[in-house]
Every structure is written in structure tokens, then in C-alpha cells.
Amino acid sequence: MTTHSTELTVGRPRRGSIGTIFESLTSLVERRRLVWYLTISEIRNKGTNSLLGNVWWFLDPALQLFVYFLLVSVIFQQAQPAILLFLGAAILPWKWFTAALASATTSVRGREQVMRQIAFPHLVLPASSVLASVANFIFALVPLGALYLLYPDRLTPWALAVLPVAVVQFLWTIPAVIALSAVAVFFRDISNFIPHGLRIWFYLSPALFPIETLRAIGDRHPWFGFFVDINPFTWIFSGYRDALYYGRAPEWGPLGILALASIPATLLSIYLFRRVSPLFVKVL
């Protein structure tokens, strides 16, 4: 019998808030390969079980764009030049966000089996959902790029600025997914509520109409103007639209502030996630 390897594997003492966050982050780094495997499997699973398979990655955003195009330009007869590009610049990134939140509601809950059998840092689950959601954005770039065939004169070098804007969106997707994945364990009803909540949020953001429309309402009702200002998607949509549609520089100031503000939000979400994660196995 060996007498060595007496290292404590279960029952490490609990740490303070900074220690907890630090421990969670190191566990992600240690399990980066697991995060990657889970990401790949999540992306792959989306493509299976349907006739058109991976074609849906392109078709889905394209169809959604078409629906809003009908709504805005045919039914509401809103006159906006290059309307498809105008809409696409906001709708396609939004699709990424909604897909991320939808997968967040199941990312922890759906792994009930393995959580009951193996001890592992649960944070890898929402982390991989965040990463897998990026696929939505990458594939949406294809229909988005195709729109420039219709409006070639709209294409400027500023189109490359979508990348920093997307980074800002990504930075806010992280805490949103982590927090939601934990909440969804305790309140299953939240997955019913999320689509409606997201729809309201969508209509209160400058997606189907220019920012000026919201600003006009804000001038009449200052509280509404305040909400427009603190809504991250006001700035994110405007950023995409500046880059893709107007062919000008996005407003770096507010985007930079948003990016910085995502850091405390992410750390807080990680801390809260870690604090409630011991309950997951008991509740699921």
C-alpha cells in the first residue's frame, strides 16, 4: 500500500469573495479544454436533428431579417434607404444575444446528469454557452456581407469596426449568461419569461427604427431618455449601424465605458454563480 498522495482533494476551506472569484477564474483556465469541448458539442448539436442541418445557421438569421423587412418596409412603409442593411446591422447581432440567453437557461439545467455524478467546476457550463453563442454572430456575418451586393456603395473600411462593437456585446453576454444560467436552475419559469422580456427590450432599443425616434420620445419624457442612455443596446446597435450602414466611426466613448462596466458585472456574476453552485445538485 502506498502511503503517499495524501493531498486533500475534497473539503478545501472556503475563501472570501476575492478568493472565490480568483478560484473560479483559475478553474476555467485549468479546464479550458473542457470548456472548448463543450462549446464544440453545443455548436454541433444545433446542426443535427434537422433536415437542413447546418444550413440553418445562415437561414435562420436571413429569414428573421426578411420578416422584419416585411414588417417595417411593406406594412409600416417606413422610408429608409438601404432598409435591409439598416435592419440587418441591428437584427443579426441581436439574434446572437437572444440565442445566448436561450442557451443560458438550459446550460446548467441541461447537465443535471453529469453534475450529479462528477465533481467539476460548474462555471465551465455557462462559459461554454457564451463561446458557443459566438457562432451565431459569425454565421450571421454571411447574410450581412451578402447585403452589400445589394448596396455596394454602403461598404466602407469602417465596416471593420463591427469587430470592436461585437467585442463590447460579447463582454456583456458573459455576465448575462452566467447570471441567467444560475437563476434558471431555481426558477424554471424564467425560460418562459425570457422571450417576452427580450422582445420588450428589443422594441425599446434602436433596432427597427433610428435612434432619433427614441431620442424624440426621450425629449418629452426625461425618464425614458434615461433608460435609452443606460440601455447597452442603444450604444451597441448604434455602433453596428455606424460601422455597417452609415460608414462612419462608432461613438467610441460610450462603447469604451460599456466595455469597462462589463468587468465588474462579470466578476459579480462569477461570484454569485460560485456562491449558489453548491445548491445546483440539490435542486436539480
Partner 1 sequence: MAQRKISRVQAAPPPILLTGLGVQYDLRLSKKRKLRDTVLRDGRHSQSGKFWALRDVDFRVEAGESVAVIGPNGAGKSTMLQVLAGILEPSVGKVEVRGKIATLLQLGAGFDPELNARENTLLVGEFLGIPHKEMVRRVPAILEFAGLGEFAEAEVRTYSTGMRARLGFSVATSVEPDVLLLDEVLSTGDAAFIEKSRGRIMELMKRARAIVFVTHDLDSAATFCTRAIELEGGRIVADGPAKRVIAAYKKKMAKRSATASRSGQGARRGN
Q: Which stretch binds partner 1 (CB under 8 A): 85-93, 109-117, 170-178, 238-246?
A: 109-117
Told to check if 44 binds partner 1 by CB under 8 A, we report yes
Told to check if 183 binds partner 1 by CB under 8 A, we report no
Told to check if 7 binds partner 1 by CB under 8 A, we report yes
Classify residue 67 by burial, with Cβ atoms within 10 Å: 0-12, 13-18, 19+.
Answer: exposed
Q: Scanning residues 231 to 270, which ones bind partner 1 (CB under 8 A)?
A: none
Cβ(210)–Cβ(78) below 8 Å: no
| Of 7, 190, 38, residue with least CA distance to 121 | 38
Q: Which stretch binds partner 1 (CB under 8 A): 86-94, 234-242, 244-252, 275-283?
A: 275-283
Q: Which three cell numbers stand for residue 67?
A: 420578416
Query: In the complex with partner 1, which residue's Cβ is closer, 187 or 252?
Result: 187
Cβ(164)–Cβ(249) below 8 Å: no
Q: How far is CA 250 from CA 13, 84, 271, 283, in A?
A: 47, 20, 33, 45
| Of 59, 62, 132, 56, residue with least CA distance to 92 | 62
Told to check if 14 binds partner 1 by CB under 8 A, we report yes
Among 22, 58, 120, 271, binds partner 1 (CB under 8 A): 120
Told to check if 196 binds partner 1 by CB under 8 A, we report no
| Of 223, 212, 130, residue with least CA distance to 177 | 130
Among 25, 28, 34, 261, binds partner 1 (CB under 8 A): 34
Q: Give the residues lining the site for partner 1 (CB under 8 A).
A: 1-3, 5-11, 13-14, 30-31, 33-34, 37, 41, 44-45, 48, 113-120, 186, 278-279, 281-284
